[in-house]
Amino acid sequence: MKVRKSVETGVVTTKGQVVIPSRIRHRHKIKRGTKVCFLEVGDDIVLRPITNDYIEGLRGSLKTGGKLLHLLREEKRREHDL
């Protein structure tokens, strides 16, 4: 994971929502409808957009013989078609 030197802030709403600052959205190609995952790493919370690159990076990590990768791609295609 690359560590950037810039810091952006946001506010959590009563519904638990946070707006991702526009510079970060543009840099990581996050647009309306992009799914994200939240990873707990020690005391930190890491937000990762679920993109094709992220899915490709998971290849082989769960040793499912490509079945999970295929299912993730199919789900992403169905969401895109909505």
pLDDT string in tens for the chain (82-residue length): 566 677 888 899 999 999 999 999 998 889 898 889 898 999 999 888 888 777 777 766 666 667 777 777 888 888 777 6
For domain 1-49, give its CATH number from 2.60.40, 3.40.50, 1.10.3470, 2.10.260. 2.10.260
What does the pLDDT read at residue 29?
A: 86
Handedness of CA 50, 54, 60, 62 (dihedral sign): negative
Contact present, 48 and 69 (Cβ < 8 Å): no
Q: Cα(68)–Cα(27) distance, rounded to whole angstroms? A: 28
